Structures are given as structure tokens and as C-alpha cells.
Amino acid sequence: MVQKKEFLYEGKAKKIYRTDDPAVVLVEFKDEATAFDGVKKDRLEDKGILNNRLSALFFSLLEKQGIETHYLKTVSEREMLVKFLEIIPVEVIVRNIAAGSLSERLGIPEKTELKKTVLEFSLKDDQLHDPMINHYHIYAMELAEPEEMAEIERIALKVNQILVPYLKEKNIVLVDFKLEFGRHNGKILLGDEISPDTCRFWDSSSGEKLDKDRFRRDMGGVIEAYREVLRRLEENDTPAVD
Ligand code: TMP
Ligand code: ASP
């Protein structure tokens, strides 16, 4: 049994702890919610529990489909063990339908289906407000190698191919989502989390938002929406927590 050791790092939604195995860290999902680079903040009771469950569920599903992720094991309500990654500070955004910053930037009305899946990259840097970057910036700043970016893009598109039909079955439209990657033993692995904090989920029938946009836009019912996503994913499924 891997032992939790000293605190290593605190992000906006998670805390990371060392373990007695240097190749493994423990992630604790917090209830804190932030938006707009931490300008808007609140505590949403149980969000950490729900995102721990949801992330474990998504990572397990992806692993079964041949995607290597950092996920190892759920160890408590709010904690999972993951492989230690050397994080690549690039956020990878995958978009199927226009929404959020894409609609604002390009004037494409929200809900417009994109004719081709869009991949975007942004520099993971809150102080700079996660600016959008392209491959030239990534290589100029030595954030990743071209072969690594090719692998990252391949995985990101495969994750989309797996999650879109899976969620559709649950009456959820996967509008867009953000992924993070890192290096582990010379391989690129999917890291961070996959949850309503990092995805846009819309109810297929009503179009109702089932994600963090409810918090960003002060719509209320945030936790209820996260719970509803978990309920749909766990229906006829084996629980993610063991
Ligand atoms: P955006 O439309 O605001 O750029 O967001 C695109 C997707 O990325 C959306 O599913 C929410 C997610 N996202 C994050 O996970 N973290 C972030 O910091 C931002 C801005 C978006
Ligand atoms: N940028 C993230 C979001 O809005 C969180 C934050 O910026 O504090 O999803």
C-alpha cells in the first residue's frame, strides 16, 4: 500500500502530495471552484468528491480503450494515486461545437457545429491568463518536441472519438474540453483531470448546461449538474471507487 507523504503543490482545484514511491503522487480534489484565472472564487460542497469520481471513471474508460493516463487507483472519496508526470505546460483544448472563448474570438455563434474538430493550445500560466499559442511558440519556448506534440494531438483526438459516442449514449453532448499531458518514463501520458470543471457538457435533449459554465455564469445548480453527470455515467456501470 502506497503511503501519503508530505504536501508538494497546491493548484486551484487540487492538492498534490508525495508518496513513498517517487514515481507516484497523490491527488486530492478540493471543493474550491475558480473561474477567470481565479478572479471568481467559491467553495462548492462536494465538488472534489464528484470530480474525483468522474475523473476516475473517465480515465478508467480511456485506459480500457488503449489510452495511457496517469491514473492508478482511487484511494478515498477525494483522493487518487497517479503516476508522477513531468507536466508539459500546454493546455490542449478540443472543440466539437462552438462555445465560450471560441465563439467570442471568432464570432461563431454558440451551438454551431464545427465542420472539423478544432484543437487549440494555450500556455499554462495564470498570470498571463493562459494565452493561446501555436506550434511555433511551443518549439520556440521548448515546451515540447515536435514528436511529442504529434503524440499529444493523436491522443487528444482519440479521447474525443471515445468520449463523444460514450457521452451521447448518456444523453450528453461533449461540446469541448481541456486536457493536460506530461512525460513519464519517456512516454506521453494524459494527466490532470477530466470533469465538468474541464469539459462543456450539454444535455442532448434540453441543451441544459451540466458543467462549470453554471458557476462561471452564476446560473446556480452547479453541484446538482455535476451529480447528474455522475448519475448518468454510473447508471448500468460498475462504480469507479474500489
Ligand atoms: P473556453 O471556451 O473558455 O476557452 O474553454 C474551452 C474548454 O476548456 C471548456 O471545456 C472549459 C475548459 N477550460 C479549462 O478546463 N480551463 C480553463 O482555464 C479554461 C479557460 C477552459
Ligand atoms: N480558468 C479556469 C476556468 O475558468 C479556472 C480559473 O481560471 O480560475 O475554467
Q: Residue 234: inside a domain, yes or no? A: no
Q: Are residues 155 and 137 in the same domain?
A: yes
Helix (H, G, I), strand (E, B) or coil at 13: coil
Asked whether the CA dihedral 86, 164, 15, 216 is positive or negative, the reply is positive
Asked if the structure places residue 227 within a domain, the reply is no
Q: Under a CB-based contact definition with an 8 Å cutoff, are residues 181 and 94 in contact?
A: no
Residues 78 and 94 in one domain: no
21 domain-assigned: yes
| pLDDT over 90 (residue 239) | no
Asked if pLDDT for residue 1 goes beyond 60, the answer is yes
- Kindly state if the Cβ of 63 falls inside 6 Å of ligand 2: no
What is the Cα–Cα distance from 39 to 35, expressed in whole angstroms? Answer: 6
Quick one: pLDDT at residue 37? 87
Domain boundary at 40, 57, 83, which? 83
Evaluate: CB of 38 within 6 angstroms of ligand 2: yes
- Specify if 20 maps to a domain: yes
> Is residue 35 domain-shared with residue 108, that is, in the same domain?
no
| Inter-axis angle of helices 146-169 and 47-64, nearest 10 | 110
Q: The CATH number of the domain where 32 resides is what?
A: 3.30.200.20
Residue 170 has pLDDT above 70, yes or no: yes
Kindly state whether residue 15 falls inside one of the protein's structural domains. Answer: yes
Q: If residue 102 lies in a helix (H) or strand (E), which one and from where to where?
A: helix 100-106
Q: Is residue 147 part of a domain?
A: yes
Strands 71-74 and 79-83: antiparallel
User: Taking CB atoms and a 6 Å cutoff, what residues make up the pocket around ligand 1?
Assistant: 93, 99-102, 130, 176-178, 198-200
CA of 4 to the centre of ligand 1 (A): 31
- 62 has pLDDT over 70: yes
Do residues 35 and 125 both lie within one domain?
no
The answer, yes or no, to whether residue 241 has pLDDT greater than 70, is no
Least confident among 64-73, 178-187, 190-199, 230-239:
230-239
Cα 49 to ligand 1 centroid, rounded to whole Å = 21
> Mean pLDDT, to the nearest integer, of 89-112?
98
139: CATH: 3.30.470.20
Grid look-up 478572479 returns 39
Does residue 242 register a pLDDT over 60?
A: no
Same domain? For 113 and 40 the reply is: no
Q: How many CB atoms lie within 10 A of CB 131?
A: 10
pLDDT at position 237 is 65
pLDDT per position as a tens digit, 183-221: 999 999 999 999 999 999 999 999 999 999 999 999 999
Residues 35 and 123 in one domain: no
Ligand 2 centroid – CA 42 distance (Å): 12
Question: What pLDDT score was predicted for residue 236?
Answer: 78
The boundaries of the domain holding residue 90 are: 86-219
Residues 6+ positions from 99 with CB-CB distance below 8 Å: 110, 111, 175, 176, 200
The total of structural domains in the chain comes to 2
Question: Same domain for 101 and 76?
Answer: no
Q: Which of 36, 61, 83 finishes a domain?
A: 83
> Among residues of the chain, what percentage have pLDDT more than 70?
98
Same-domain status, 24 and 144? no
pTM over 0.85: yes
